[in-house]
Every structure is written in structure tokens, then in C-alpha cells.
Structure 1
Amino acid sequence: MRILDKEKILARSKERLEYPELLNFLAGYCKSEPGKARALSLEPSQNLEKIKRDLNLLKEMMALFDSGLNPPIGHFSDFSQSLEHAEKGVSLTAKHFLELLKFLNLAEANRVFFQKVKEKFPGLGELAGQIHNFSELKSRIHGTVDEQGEIKDSASPDLARLRQELSSLRAQIQKKLEKMLNSEDLEGVIQDSFYTERDGRFVIPVKSSAQTAISGIVHDSSISGATVFLEPIEMVPLNNRLRILEREIETEIQRILAELSSEVSLSKVQLLFALNSLSELDLLCAKAELARTLSASIPQLSTTGAIRLFQVRHPLLILRGKDAIANDLVMGTDTRVLVLSGPNTGGKTVLLKTIGLLSLMIRAGMAIPAHPDSELGLFPEIYAGIGDEQSLSQDLSSYSAHLLDLLAFLNYAQDSSLVLIDEILGSTDPEEASALAMVILKELKKRNCLTMVTTHLSRLKAFAETEPGFINASFEFDPLNLTPTYHLRLGLPGPSYGIATARKLGLDKELIEEAEKMLDPESRKLIELVSQLDLKQTELDQRLRRLAEEEQDSQMRSKELDEKGRRLLEKEQEMKKGLRRELESELRSIKTRLNQIYEEAREVRSTDRVKSAEKEIARIRKELDEKYPVPDQGEEIASEEWQVGDLAWVKRLKIQAEVIGLNPESQEATLGIGSIRIQEKISGLLRIQKKREAQKRETMVGSESALCANPARSSGNTLDLRGKRAEDAEIELINYLDQSVREGKPAVYIIHGHGTGVLKKLVREYLASSSYVKSFRPGEQNEGGDGITLAVLENMQIK
């Protein structure tokens, strides 16, 4: 079977990503026929300058909408074909000129509108500035065609004279006919008391039996034959003159239309420029309306191939009125292959389609449903192997069709291509599929493609843990209820939960048990271990999200409180940030340990190693449950029974704390959570344990003796945070300290600059609370001064 050519592969990839359906939604926001046609044929651009121009224009249009201004875009037709005819000497009709006049009025309104706002929106002003001032042509058409699309009498003196003569002649003819119909001499001859027209000539209805009573010409008869329509002989000269006048009028009208068509053809170039500008403005308005519907924004364009997408959602899910869960996806330039695993219905395919469709949108000059701080690469080519392409007509199995896709991708993909593969080689033997998948993905990485695949292949997941440039990812899944949460997690593979899902869906219990017995013991143990890890990971992720939600709630409430209340809330937020940092640090450490266990258990496949891994998992679970318990019991006691040293559960914060002070008058307790102190109403506490020895942590800051013999600053021991957002800087700082301690560095330099002082404050506050840091101080003059902080690290033996 021959591989499809490159253009067909790329076109099919767009269809698989449902790009045409997105264009249908976009076209629905357009108001003109040319605008709709432009939307439906919108192609992602390869030209960086054009992409930047289109996005800049859209940014201005979105800002224009946000300011409450709306351009006077309305319906207009595509008259380019009419201009071609006029240029060839073909006269346009009066209806054509009426449509053209409506367009010219609309073009003028937009030209004037954007002229007024061009200082604030220069790009849109320049685009609308291509619309010529057609005041003379507009006046000429207006003086020729009326609102019903008829030629006005005033179009020419001859036309006015001829129409006046025609009107007088008609009145003369009608008067004669009425007199004839009312004549007593013809009382038994006339069939009805009205006159009519046949072939453009006035006639009267005469009884067939009496037609010889009137001298004239019969032009027609009724169906029954009882009536003939007769032109009296004395009316013939008048009817002849009437027909001559009508032909003269038609000749004059054609002369006027030909003359006006010639004038229009002289303005063809300017009219086509105006048509292009107005249809582009219509499309920009449609893009802005679509962005508003999607709550979309324009990301930063990455030239390095990195992806930093925050709160990203699938646009078509939003447009179809379905729930679209927001997720974050960050892949640096060193990570080129994402291996996404986990159970079906968990959102894996949706993520692939989201990344692919958003990449097409940004190249087509559209905003994407993601946070404004996001960053997305401009992938010149996007290859999507998504969906079952089994072909009966070509005698292709699903596997063969899928393999042909992969062959095409390998044949055409190049530097910076985006390759998306759903269920890579999932329709053949898992061992062979894993081997093939590994070499294919390594080859794509070698070409510097950004590749994302979904899989259930265990060997491929294990391979991604150790292969440079690869990263595992999975969607959070509730192992207890076997329901997806659609929250993306980077760094860990996901269990498939195949047997567990079958159990939930009602497969016979005996069949389930028999299936579990048929698994080899090592595989069964490994599945249980990975499921336990997934459960604990889910618990930690959910706690982190709860803390983040509470931080957000606190920030919202702070705006409504007085200054005293605001200070209390700020203290609470600082406490939560400290807890969050501890959780994140713990989570990173656990991820590393879990990945090692997963990798070793998969590679060794020995009973002893599985048992060893099981013990390690149990130990990790015990550590976490002790450090971050979620007690399902705790007693409510009277306020006078509380004692300093009791271990309490804080219902509002869902955390444990030690009672270090009591105030019976205010009914408040002072609680200790590590080095943090908070006040809480006694009624909001549950007692977990009586009298516990408080564990106090000493923080050493600014010790001069610890700062001697510092290493010289180099790229290997320096972190530069300048220009970073506070949230990003904090994450980088946490990761950097964690890595530096593991590498055994004695001290590190943090460059934060002076600026507004926000980064400096953030860095030093975090260093003061970090267990990794023995001491820290501002840099000396020869080290960079107060724009740098030197941190001496604890000598930790981390394995």
C-alpha cells in the first residue's frame, strides 16, 4: 500500500483534529458572505511575520471590543465577479448597483470609524485605511438607482422625457378604453367592464358571439372560448406608439447602465482593496467574538519549541456546551516526547486533540482558550494519528492503517514538527509493539520533533522513565470510584485499571477472580503497587488543590474585609503558602522514589524485588499518613478540657496542629504548624490526641560563621530569576534548591535583581523557611550586591 503524499497527510491530520468544524463555528460569527468564505477557507500560515501580524490585529480587535466599541460591520455580498464582467464590457444590472451602493455605505462607515480610533488601534486603522473614499462613485450610483433597485427618472434628461411621454400616453389610452367599455352601444358586446393587456398592447374583453360588432384585432381568447381579447382598430396607433416609447426607454436604461458599469470598472482595483479590507475586518470581528465565547487569549510565541500552557481547554468542547476541564502542560526544550498513559475515558485523546487544534489555531491567527501567560511553539507541520482508520475498501486492518500513518510521519516529519499519536501500535502484540514504539519515538526525538503519544504499553511507560528527552504523564483517576477527574499529572505513568473497570461495570465476580489468577504473580503485584502509588498521588494532588482553592477564597474574602481583617487573612495565606511549599517538596521527593520503584520492579520482574517494592510503598504510605493525616475521627470536647500540648484537627483548614496557647476569654487557641502560628476558635477544633510534645524547628538565618569559604559564583551554582513572574520564580527556586542539595552543592547564588523588590522578598522569605538552607545573606559588591542572594545549603545525604 502506497503512503499518501505529504499534503494529503497534513490535510487529513487537520480533519482528525476537527479543524474544519472549528472553522464552521468561526464562520457563524461572520456577518458577510465574503467573511464567511474567508473563515471557511482559513489555512494555518507558515509565515512567521503573517502570523504575528494577524495576532496583533486580533489583539487590537479584542481590546476594541473590551473598550465597549463595536465596528459597524454588516452584511454585504461578494461583487468581485461583477467587477470582472464590467471590466469586460458587460453591463451590470440595477440590482448589482444597489448591492454595490450598500457596500460602499458600509465601507465608508468603517473607514470613518477606524480613522477615529487609529491612534489607539494603529493596525486596524492601517487596515481600514486601505478603503478608498468612494464619495463620487457613491453619489453617481445614488443618483441613478433607487432603494428598490430601479433606475431613477433623474438618471438622464432623455429618460425623464420618455417616461413622462409614456405616462401621458398611457393615461390617454386608458381614458379611451374606459369610455368604450361604458358605451351603451356596446352593452351586449362587452363581456366584462375592464380592460387588460396582451403582448404589451391594451385590449378589451368581447363576447365571442359578438366580436364582429367591433372592428379590431383579436390577440387572445379565454380557456372556455366564450371571450376574446380584442384591440379596437382606433387603439392600434396609440398601442404602436406605446411600444415604441417602451423600447426607447429600455434602450436609454441600457445606455445608462453601460456608462455606469464603465465608471465602476475604472475603480476595480480600489473596490477590490476595499472588499478585501472589509471582509478581513469581518473575519477579525468573528475571531474576537469567538475568543470572547472561549474566554481565550493570545499566548507568547515560542521560537524554541517549548510549550507552557496554563488552564488550557479544548475549544470544541466549550463551543458544544460540554464541560472542559482546564489543565496545565509545561514541556521545556529538553523534553521532546510525552508518553501519556492511564485508563480509557480519562481524557488522553482529548489532550492530544487540544494541543494539535490550538497549534493550528495560533498559526491561523486565532486566540486559544488558555491563560495569557501561556507560551506555544509555531509548529510548521502537524501530524495527527488519531482515530481508527480501518479501510474495508482498501483491505486495510486497523493495525496496517495505523502503521501506514507512522511510516508517513517518519517519512515527512522534520525539525520542530508536532506529531500526535493515539494508542501507538496498540493493535498488535505488546512486546513487539513496545519495541517498535521505542525506536520510532527515539527517531522522532532525534529529528527534534515534539511528539505526544497515548499508550497502555507497560514497557513503553518504563522506557520513558529512563530515556533522556522523554517524560511520562497521566490523568488523575479516582481509584476508589474508578472515575476520571481529567486533571493532568506530569512525571508519573498511569495504571490502566482494566480489571478494576470490568469489575465496576458488573463482570461476573468469578470471572474477575479467574482473570486475576491468570496474571503472573509479579505482574499482579506490580499492578497492585502502581495502583497504590496512584491512589496516594491522587490524595496528594487533591490536597494541593484544596490548599490552592483556599488561598484563592482567602484572597477574594480579603477584598471585602477591613484593614484588621485583611492583616489576619494575609497571615493565614502565608501559612498556607508555607504548607503548600512543604507539600510540593514532599511530592517531588515521593515522585522520584516511586519512579525508581516502578522502574526497578518492571525491569527486574523478580518476586523478591516486588516484595521489597511492596514494603517500600507501605513505608511511604505510613510516612505520608503520619505527616499528612486526614483523620476520620476526632472528639469534640468542652473548651475547658483543652490543654497546651494537645494535638488538634483544624476543621476549617483540614490539617493537624499542636495547641501551644489557650485564651479562655476569647475562646481562641494558638496553634503551631511547624514554624507557623495561627489563631483559631476552639469551637473549630477536634482533639486527636492529648498532650503531645511540641516539635520545634530552629531556623538559622544570617549566621556569619556559616558563610565563610563560599565558592566563587559560576553558571553551575547560579540561578537567574530576573524577568520571571513570581509564581514561576518560586517554582524554579524550589526545584533548583532541591536539585542543588541532591548534587551536594555547598552554596548557591540566586539572582533576583532590584526592580520592584517583589522577587527579592519572595526569594529571601522562602530561603528563611526552607529546610534545605542553613543560612543566607545579600551578595557583596564584587558578587553583584543586593540584587543577588547567597544561600548556604544543609549537608543532606539524600538517596
Structure 2
Amino acid sequence: MNPKALKTLEYNKIIDKLTEFAGSALAKEMCRNLQPSTDLYEIQALQKETSDALSRIYQKGAVSFRGVRDIRGSIKRLEIGAIIGINELLSICSLLDVCSKVKAYSRNDRDPDFEDSLEAMFQALQPLTPVSSEIRRCIASEEELNDDASPALFKIRRSMRQINDKVHAQLQTMVNGSARTYLQDAVVTMRNGRYCIPVKAEHRGQIPGMIHDQSSTGSTLFVEPMAVIKLNNDLRELELKEEKEIEMILATLSARCGEETEALRDDLDLLTKLDFIFARAQLSRSMNGTQPDFNEEGRILIKKGRHPLLDKKKVVPIDIQLGKDFELLIITGPNTGGKTVSLKTVGLFTLMGQAGLHIPAFDHSELSVFHEVFADIGDEQSIEQSLSTFSAHMTNTVSILKEADDRSLVLFDELGAGTDPTEGAALAIAILSNLHRRGSRVMATTHYSELKVFALSTPGVENGCCEFDVETLRPTYRLLIGVPGKSNAFAISQKLGLSQDIIEEAKTHLTKQDEDFEDLLADLEQKRVTIEQERDQINSYKEEIRELKQRLESKQEKLDLSRDKILREANEQARNILQEAKDYADTTIRNFQKYGKAAGVSAKDMEKERGKLREKMSTVDKKLSAKNAAPKKSHKQLTAKDLHIGDSIKVLSLNLKGTVSTLPDAKGNLFVQMGILRSQVNIRDLEKLDDTVITGGNFSKTGSGKIKMSKSASVSTEINLLGKTVDEAIMELDKYLDDAYIAHLPSVRIVHGKGTGALRKGVHNYLRRQKHVKSYRLGEFGEGDAGVTIVEFK
């Protein structure tokens, strides 16, 4: 990209903002060197990195890269076996600490299968925890090593402290004792690394020792007393040993780091790149940016774009399109109406997008990859432009015409201004026509009406304008595509108080063609406003309809849930009542069987038990009647002649189907077989079912030889027990197997699912105890596998 366009479109200010978000000096350098790319795949990769980093920031917050220091010089010295200093080792430790934190940031609370464009970089980081821990253990600060950096250093420093204590003790004894009168001050000081006391010059002979220094006036001598010379010598020897031991420790640490130079270089490169990427993401978040879609067809579609250098609370979003239905856009309108901002927005968005930066616009805005962006945008927009200004703009235009091609975006601000309007308009039309023939994408702002006509009459060229409210004399800063800007000079002058007579006289100087053109523009503007108002009203109606639809759907959903709940509760209650009746009937039958076998049991006792059963059935019948909201169907009252042994009937009080076992007696009582239950009921409690009866050749024509088709037609060959407990499943399975056996089904399929196997085990334990079950097995491939059991009857 040419540097002039970058400067004109204020790309450098975006780079300055980006640099502020980088945490390390190397990443800041990368930000400052960021240039727009012309490779589509590289641009898409950069955009993907920015989007992935932004997604991580929104999910987990920002990550800090402060502490990443430039250790490239230290790495080079380590590679040749040099010993590096404490500061360099601390810089390496700081880098590794950041590496560890960033590595933890990447894996904390994340899906282990998650992967984006940054995951490989995060995974390649090597925190080298043993190295950083060793450096931190040995080095206390930028100026000192820890005492326990090595056993030898610990021993040396302990000895130094002991000797220091002895020296101080002896000197303090002298200072506070008889030598006090010979001293200038009662203090202990150091000269040339040795402990001394300040002695008055006239008393030099009173304190034997070595003179190391004297005051500027010569009145004070700094004397090392003879009593501490030996101790000071020992202390100096220990200091030399300490320096040698420190050098050995630094050599050891340097050797340890030297073994990891490749990993350190990789960590530095990866952290710098990640810092750079997350700086781009932070910039995107600060301006509510989104990733644009890129193409190579010269197509631009910006949705609600906001210039990133303007106050986002005040800037008016604009919609701009170029390159799809037209390749050249001419924008007209009053000064300060936003024309220049529109040009800069398109140019700056293009540069930012091609540099891998997000743009402050709605999702799925489109930008094209341009090899060059040219911009001739001047800050001087006064009508009193001088010839030199025109010459400067024309010089820029000439340089643009030398290089522009079909992969160029060209932006002109006030093209042709600064000279005679007629000649300026003619030049502007010629320049735009030339660029249009080359296939360049062009946006130009102008005040010339001739360019409006040029746009209306030339294919591939479109008018646009920045809307202006004549009533308030203020621009709205909205960019309208397809509408040429109307000259508002007369209307504005009238609003500002210019005499109507002068305005009318001015109108007489306009040609008929100019008046017709202005009237056409005014008519177009009025129609546009009307259409926009109607569109807003239609959108309002659509929103209201959508809300009504949502409320109706929500209401219907609640009704469906309520209905299902009521039906579920009713079925549950009915099942409980029937189960209660069945359990009581089973108990009574067992009692009858027990009474029949027991000696000395009277018929009165048996009749009492039968009476209890009848009362229980009557109670159950009442409960069922109360729970059943639907009216019962009327049925024909049966007589003894209507029934035959083997007929299919329904016991109304129990709501169960069965077959006639005996004919009615004089009171109308008869026995009915209902599955495994054989009970005496009255003929008034029965309803005859219409069944098709088939007699086989091997059966007699009595009731015992009839096959009931209604039972086999109503009983399914499969029962589904999924979602039930073992007790619920066995209770339902018991009734189902009785019905299937009576219906002469050869085999049935029980669906119990795989799950934990508890339901399958309970079903198999039950089947093992059934005498009418010939065999059972798990399903094979295609039958449901271990999720079903196939049962065969005897």
C-alpha cells in the first residue's frame, strides 16, 4: 500500500491504538510494523486469529503478556556458552512465568476436544517449570542471590556475618570506651571495603592502625585499628570466596538455560505472536468490531459502519455498498454532511480488514481485497480555494491515474474543485470515466450537478447523497445510495432570512433544464421519505404480528402441557384403582382356594368373603365412575338367551374384557374368565362384544372350540417397558402376557432397553416362574439386540 493513502486515511492512528493493547515491547514492535496484506488466504488467516482470540476474551477474560522480555541477546550468549548475569536470568524467569500463565489460560475450564487457530500455539508453549523454579530459588532480586542458592554460599555468608559481628563488637567497644576522646564522631564507617573509625588528626598516635582515608579538611583520619585488621582481612577473603561462588552459581544456571535455548526462542516467538494477536482482539472489543467477509470481486457491503476514530456514542452508522450493481459512486450533499467521513470509512475499513483487524460494523459486512488504495482527500473544503490547492489535488490525481487498475480502490474528495465550475465538472467526468473503463472501484464526492447527471446516465455509476434536514438546517449524516443530493441553497437562504424577492430573482437566472432537474430531485426526495415512512410502518406491523404469533404459540404450548398433564394424572389414577381391585380380587381368590381345602370352614364364611369382594368391586366401580368425565355409552340389557359359553363380553364395573365360562343361573349370576381372574358377576353388569368367531376342523362346535379374533386383533405382539420401574413393568407385563396367551399369540417381544440391566433382569426372573412360557431369549441382530426379549408360549 502506498504510504500517502495510509497517512491520509489515518491508518497510523489505528496502529497507535493497537500498540497500546500489546503487553510486551516485541509485540508493540509487531503492531507498529503491521501493514495491510494483499493475499486473500493470509488475510482470512489473520482475521480468524483475531476472531478466535476475541472469542476467548469474551469467554474467559483477557490474558496479560506483561513480563515477556526481549531475551534474544541472552539466548545468543547462552548458545556460545557464556555466563549471563542476574538480570538476564530474571528476564528468562519472567518469560517462563508468563508462558506458564498463558498455558494455564488456554486449558483452564475448556473442552478437551476444543480447537481453534490459536490452540496449536498454546500447546507448543513450554513453561520449563524446573528451570524457572531453580532461577527463582537461587536469585532473590536483581542485586542479590539467596543464601541457600548453594551450601557453600550459605556457609560463606554465615561466616561473614559472624566476623562482621566480631568487628562491630570490637569497634563499638573502642568507640564507647577510652578511645572516645580521640574520635571525631562515635561512629563506625567503611573505607575501601574495610571497617574504620574517624580519629582526630592531632590524636593519630593514640590509635594504632592503618590509615585508609582522611577528610577534605585533613582534621579527620579514617583509621583501621590494629585489633580488627586480621578480622577485616578474613572478611575480605570471604567476600572474594562469595564472589567466586556466585559466579559458579550463575554459571550453573546459565548452563541449565543453555540446554533449553531452542525452547526459550520458541516460547519468545510464540508469546510475542500471541500478544500481538490478543492486542488485535482487544482493539476489536474496544470498538465493538466484527470480522468482515472478504472477496476478490471488488464487492464492498458495509452494514452500519462507524468510523473507528470518532466517538462511538455520537457517530451515525452508515450503510455503504459498491462493486455489486455499480462500480462508481458519486456522493453529493452539503458541507459538513458526512461525505468525507463516508470516504474515509470505506478506505480505512479496507486497510484495517486487510491487516487482519476487525471493523466496527454489523456482522457479515463485506470487503474486497485491493492491491492498492488511493485517496485524494484534503482538509480544505472552503469555496475560496486557491489555484495552488487545485494544483496539489491535480498532482495527486495524475499520480493515481498512472497506477490505478481493476484491483484498486480510488477515493476522491471534491473532485475537480478549486477551478472554474464548468471546466472542473468536465475534468471530473473525464477522470471518473477513465477510471471506470479501467475497472477501478471509485468513490467521489462533489457539488457539481453535472456529475449527478453523469451518474444517472452512465451504466455502472450510481448517485449517493448525505441526507440534510432543511427544517433544522442540520445534516443527519445518513448516506443514501441511489438518490442524488439536492441543492438546498435557496431553501437554506430562505430559512436564514434572505429576502423572498432576492430568492425569486435568483431563480430567474436558472435555466429551464436546471429548474426541471432540481424539481426532479425534490420529487425523488419526497417519494424516498414517503417510502421510508411506509417501510418503517410495515416493519412495525411485522414486529407486532411476530409478538402476537409468539404469544399464541406460547399459549398453545401451555394448553398442550396442561392437557397432557391432566390425561397423565387421570390414567395414573385409573391404573391405581384397577390395580387395587386386581390385588383385592387375587387375595380373595386365594382365600377361596384356602377355604376350599381347609376342613371345617363353613359356607357362611365363604359367602362373607364373596360379599366383601362384591362390596369392593362396587366401591371401585363408583371410583371409576367418578374419575371418568366422559358419559358412558348406553348398552343393550342382556338376557340368558343372548349369552353362550365362550362369548366375548365386557364387565362394565371393572372395565375388563373376558369370556363367558358358565351360563346365568336363575338370579342372573354367572362366571366370567378375565385373564387369570375368574369371577362371578351379574348379567346386568355385562356388555356383549361383537367378535368374529372361527371354528376349526379339529375343534368341536362348542364354545371350547372357538377362537376369538377380537383378542388377537387387540393384543399387540410387542410391549414397551422403557422408563418404568421393575415393579411397574412386572405388573404391566403380567396382564399383557395373560392377554397374549389367551389370544393364542405364538410369541411376543418385550422391549426393556439395555441401560443398567436391572429391568432386563427383573423381566427374566418373572418369565422364569411362568408356566405358560415355553422359552425366552434376548433379541438378535435386527430384533433389538440385548434391548429386547423374545418370549414363546407353550
- 2:45 aligned residue (53, 56, 71): 53
How has the CA–CA distance of structure 1 residues 126 and 505 changed in structure 2, closer, same or farther, with 3 Å as cutoff? farther
CA distance in 1, matches of 2:116, 2:489: 58
DSSP 3-state at the match of 1:129: helix
- 1:162 aligned residue (137, 156, 160): 156
- 1:274 aligned residue (264, 267, 270): 267
Q: Which amino acid aligns with 1:142?
A: R
How has the CA–CA distance of structure 1 residues 522 and 331 changed in structure 2, closer, same or farther, with 3 Å as cutoff? closer
2:128 maps to 134
1:700-715 matched pairs, under 5 angstroms:
none
Give CA-to-partner distance per residue, 1:327-365, whole Å, 9 cap, x none: 222334452111111111111111111111111111111
Alignment check: 8 A CA contact 2:416 2:424 kept: yes
Deviates more, 1:537-546 or 1:504-513: 504-513
CA distance in 1, matches of 2:490, 2:259: 76
DSSP 3-state at the match of 1:52: helix
2:347 maps to 356
Alignment check: 8 A CA contact 1:33 1:75 kept: no
- 1:100 aligned residue (88, 92, 95): 92
How has the CA–CA distance of structure 1 residues 426 and 543 changed in structure 2, closer, same or farther, with 3 Å as cutoff? farther
Q: Which amino acid aligns with 2:114?
A: K
CA distance in 1, matches of 2:300, 2:141: 56
CA distance in 1, matches of 2:498, 2:216: 80
- Is 2:113 aligned against 1:119? yes
2:401 maps to 410
CA distance in 1, matches of 2:528, 2:361: 26
2:653 maps to none
The CA RMSD over aligned residues, in Å, is 3.2
How has the CA–CA distance of structure 1 residues 92 and 561 changed in structure 2, closer, same or farther, with 3 Å as cutoff? farther
1:15 maps to 7
Give how far 1:209 is off: 3.5
1:230 maps to 223
- Is 2:451 aligned against 1:460? yes
- Is 2:437 aligned against 1:433? no
1:497-508 matched pairs, under 5 angstroms:
497-501=488-492, 504=495
- Is 2:183 aligned against 1:190? yes
Alignment check: 8 A CA contact 1:216 1:231 kept: yes
- 2:277 aligned residue (284, 300, 316): 284
Give CA-to-partner distance per residue, 1:39-78, whole Å, 9 cap, x none: 2322212222222222222222222233345546444333
1:443 maps to 434
Give how far 1:534 is off: 2.6
How has the CA–CA distance of structure 1 residues 458 and 151 changed in structure 2, closer, same or farther, with 3 Å as cutoff? same
TM-score by length of 2: 0.63
Alignment check: 8 A CA contact 2:67 2:94 kept: no
2:234 maps to 241
Alignment check: 8 A CA contact 2:97 2:127 kept: no
1:348-747 matched pairs, under 5 angstroms:
348-388=339-379, 397-501=388-492, 504=495, 519-520=510-511, 522-523=513-514, 526-527=517-518, 529-545=520-536, 547-548=538-539, 551-552=542-543, 563=554
- 1:150 aligned residue (144, 148, 155): 144
CA distance in 2, matches of 1:31, 1:557: 52
Alignment check: 8 A CA contact 1:474 1:489 kept: yes
1:25 maps to 17
Give CA-to-partner distance per residue, 1:243-263, whole Å, 9 cap, x none: 343234224333433453454
How has the CA–CA distance of structure 1 residues 498 and 207 changed in structure 2, closer, same or farther, with 3 Å as cutoff? farther
Give how far 1:177 is off: 0.9
Which ranges in structure 1 are unaligned for 5 or more consecutive residues? 1-6, 568-799
DSSP 3-state at the match of 1:187: helix
CA distance in 2, matches of 1:559, 1:146: 67
Count of matched residue positions in the alignment of Structure 1 and Structure 2: 552
CA distance in 2, matches of 1:93, 1:73: 23
Give CA-to-partner distance per residue, 1:273-329, whole Å, 9 cap, x none: 212221222233232232223222212221222122222221222xx3441222222
DSSP 3-state at the match of 1:323: coil
Alignment check: 8 A CA contact 2:9 2:375 kept: yes
1:740 maps to none
CA distance in 2, matches of 1:542, 1:245: 92
Alignment check: 8 A CA contact 2:96 2:127 kept: no
CA distance in 2, matches of 1:247, 1:171: 19
Give how far 1:37 is off: 2.7
Alignment check: 8 A CA contact 1:380 1:417 kept: yes
Alignment check: 8 A CA contact 1:473 1:490 kept: yes
Give CA-to-partner distance per residue, 1:534-577, whole Å, 9 cap, x none: 3443343344345435645775787678846999xxxxxxxxxx
1:206 maps to 199
Q: Which amino acid aligns with 1:14?
A: L
How has the CA–CA distance of structure 1 residues 332 and 151 changed in structure 2, closer, same or farther, with 3 Å as cutoff? same
How has the CA–CA distance of structure 1 residues 396 and 174 changed in structure 2, closer, same or farther, with 3 Å as cutoff? farther
1:172-191 matched pairs, under 5 angstroms:
172-183=166-177, 185-191=178-184
- 2:300 aligned residue (288, 304, 307): 307
Give how far 1:220 is off: 3.6
How has the CA–CA distance of structure 1 residues 237 and 189 changed in structure 2, closer, same or farther, with 3 Å as cutoff? same
Give how far 1:16 is off: 1.4
How has the CA–CA distance of structure 1 residues 124 and 217 changed in structure 2, closer, same or farther, with 3 Å as cutoff? same
Which ranges in structure 2 are unaligned for 5 or more consecutive residues? 559-794
- Is 2:336 aligned against 1:345? yes
How has the CA–CA distance of structure 1 residues 167 and 550 changed in structure 2, closer, same or farther, with 3 Å as cutoff? farther
Alignment check: 8 A CA contact 1:477 1:538 kept: no
Give CA-to-partner distance per residue, 1:442-481, whole Å, 9 cap, x none: 2222222211111112112211112122111112222332
Alignment check: 8 A CA contact 1:87 1:262 kept: no
2:686 maps to none
CA distance in 1, matches of 2:551, 2:78: 68
Give how far 1:80 is off: 2.5
Q: Percent identity of the aligned residues? A: 33
Alignment check: 8 A CA contact 1:92 1:257 kept: yes
Give CA-to-partner distance per residue, 1:681-702, whole Å, 9 cap, x none: xxxxxxxxxxxxxxxxxxxxxx
TM-score by length of 1: 0.63
How has the CA–CA distance of structure 1 residues 209 and 557 changed in structure 2, closer, same or farther, with 3 Å as cutoff? farther
